[in-house]
Amino acid sequence: MHRRRLRPAVLTLAVIASLLASGTVTAPPAVAAPAGGKKVIANLFEWNWPSVASECASTLGPKGYGYVQVSPPQEHVRGNQWWVAYQPVSYRIESRKGTRAQFESMVDGCHAAGVKVIVDAVVNHMSGQANGGTGWAGSSYQHHAYPGIYQGQDFHYCGRNGNNDIVDYHDRYEVQNCELVNLADLRTESDYVRSRLAAYLNDLLSLGVDGFRLDASKHMPAADVAAIRARLSRPAYLVQEVIHGAGEPITPTEYTGNGDVHEFRYGKDLARVFRSERLAYLRNFGEGWGHLPSNVSSVFVDNHDTQRDDGGVLTYRDRGIYALANAFMLAWPYGSPTVMSSYTFSGRDAGPPSDGNNKTLSTTCYSGWECEHRWPVIANMVGFRNATEGAGVSNWYDNGYQHIAFSRTGRGFITINDEDFAVNGRSYHTGLPAGRYCDVIHGTFAGGTCTGPVITVDANGWFAANVPAHDAIAIHLSARLP
């Protein structure tokens, strides 16, 4: 591996400014990619329902996000840790994030703002509490008994490792029939279990939900996921969590027939390039790196799991370099991108800002909530992604190291300089029509005006500019001044 010096994320004044807040019967067809021209997903991790609704109206819709991904809405075990939401005890839409009525109101509000809703759906398992207890909404449960929903016969007992837990990820049977960290593993091959899971998802569809992120899909055979999908009452976008593991028998490609699949290698590879390799290597990033085909790949710089468990990814703590990596993701035409929106945490298990009863507090950005989706660099590049959707890459340039540039043919152009020094006195060929364009890395385009620098493209499609160290310039047709 070619390595350069490791360095801290250095912030220019321009990048610092950009980071500041601005305020059944027939199986429905698989929806293999977010539909329409607005494909960027904002993952508002652990936000409560009123806050999601408000954000759809104030930010996500106006900034051009096509989807919001919300955390699991079903009743879960009690506690403050983030992972309690991934331990269902019933399928009532009642959780620390809000009531069923608030959830439905949130979906309606997001739709009114032009934003579709993806639910993080936990369908592989139930709780991991060995002694049982009482769930958030008052439902009693035991580890393998959920009154009125599941009983002992509805779970796997693999009989391995002394506690039925998964140990060997190179054993397909164990990964899909043993328990993931003690979580009661559902017999998804069972007709009853499939029907019960489909009933939960169909209930969410009845409330207007547009799609699902299927948590822990790797721990269910792809055929079981397909059988559950076949029972959905209408088509829905699906993205499946299947983590690639070198040499493992279960691969992400097995699941692409059901819909999109998370490409976990993307964030790790992108972080490695930005931290210790060369941006010039990104010329064929994506499929050229052995990643999934673009049309079934769901990508992200980080998500709620990798920012806690994988030191190899960039997170909000990386500040300027994180913003640049997201800018690249939103500019580069590979996969369907998700922007992470976190809350501030120090310990791995830390839950979201909550009251004394562990009910999630309403979001106040930049005060306990990181709100990366609002960072001007990231939010403005959503518009770039929308404006360039479907366009190829042309006019690639690199200096062999940390300075790259490319066009999204006829629609947009970006140059990123991750050198430790400014690149001055260069001209860039954009292939764009002559005119004055808002640099959306440093300014917001609205009402025909730009709050930041204006880039002038000449009659031959060129412009000249200086790019500070660890900074970028991006322009596109939808941010062209009159």
Q: Is the pLDDT score of 311 beyond 90?
A: no
User: Where residue 37 falls among pLDDT bands split at 50, 70, 90?
Assistant: confident
Same structural domain, 101 and 213:
yes
Token pair of 250 as six digits? 């279960």
**241 is annotated as an active-site residue:** yes
Based on the domain organization, do 224 and 131 belong to the same domain?
yes
CB 337 within 8 Å of CB 330: yes
State what percent of residues in the chain have pLDDT above 70. 93
Is 215 a catalytic site residue? yes
Which tokens belong to 195? 């029907």
CA nearest neighbour of 265 among 295, 244, 246: 244
Contacts of 246 (CB under 8 A, 6+ apart): none
CB atoms within 10 A of CB 277: 18
426 in any annotated domain: yes
Q: Do residues 231 and 88 both lie within one domain? A: yes
Identity of the amino acid at 344: T
pLDDT at 3 over 70: no
* Closest listed residue to residue 412, CA positions, set 461, 474, 463, 462: 474
Are 411 and 286 part of one and the same domain?
no
Locate tokens 């994506």: which residue?
286
- Domain count for the chain: 2
Asked if residue 271 belongs to a domain, the reply is yes
| pLDDT mean across residues, the chain | 93
Residue 12 covered by a domain: no
Do 380 and 452 share a structural domain? Answer: no
pLDDT digits (tens, 9 = 90+) for 251-308: 999 999 999 999 999 999 999 999 999 999 999 999 999 999 999 999 999 999 999 9
Inform me whether the pLDDT recorded for 122 exceeds 60.
yes
95, 85 Cβ separation under 8 angstroms: yes
The whole domain housing 408 covers 393-479
Q: What single string gives the DSSP state of each residue in 274-321?
A: HHHS-GGGGGGTTGGGTPPPGGGEEEES--TTHHHH-TTS--GGGTHH
pLDDT band at 31 (very low <50, low <70, confident <90, very high): low
CATH number of the domain bearing residue 451: 2.60.40.1180
Whether residue 454 contacts residue 438, with contact meaning beta carbons closer than 8 Å, is answered with yes
pLDDT by residue (tens digit) across 167-191?
Answer: 999 999 999 999 999 999 999 999 9
- Whether the predicted pLDDT of 1 surpasses 80: no
Among residues 215, 254, 269, 318, the one annotated as catalytic is 215
Task: Please say if the pLDDT value at position 10 is more than 70.
Answer: no
What confidence tens digit (pLDDT) does each residue in 347-382 have?
Answer: 999 999 999 999 999 999 999 999 999 999 999 999
CATH number of the domain where residue 205 is located: 3.20.20.80
Beta-sheet pairing, 260-262 with 237-240: parallel
User: Active site residue: 241, 263, 318, 370, which one?
Assistant: 241
The pLDDT, as a whole number, for residue 28 is 57
> Does the pLDDT value for residue 219 go beyond 50?
yes
Q: Cα–Cα distance between 408 and 406 in angstroms, integer?
A: 7
Confidence label for 34 from pLDDT (cuts 50, 70 and 90): confident
Q: Is residue 457 part of a domain?
A: yes
Where do the DSSP E strands lie in 162-236?
Answer: 211-215
What was the pLDDT predicted at 279? Answer: 98
Distance CA 268, CA 247 (A): 17
Residues 6+ apart with CB under 8 A from 253: 261, 292
**Same domain assignment for residues 383 and 397:** no
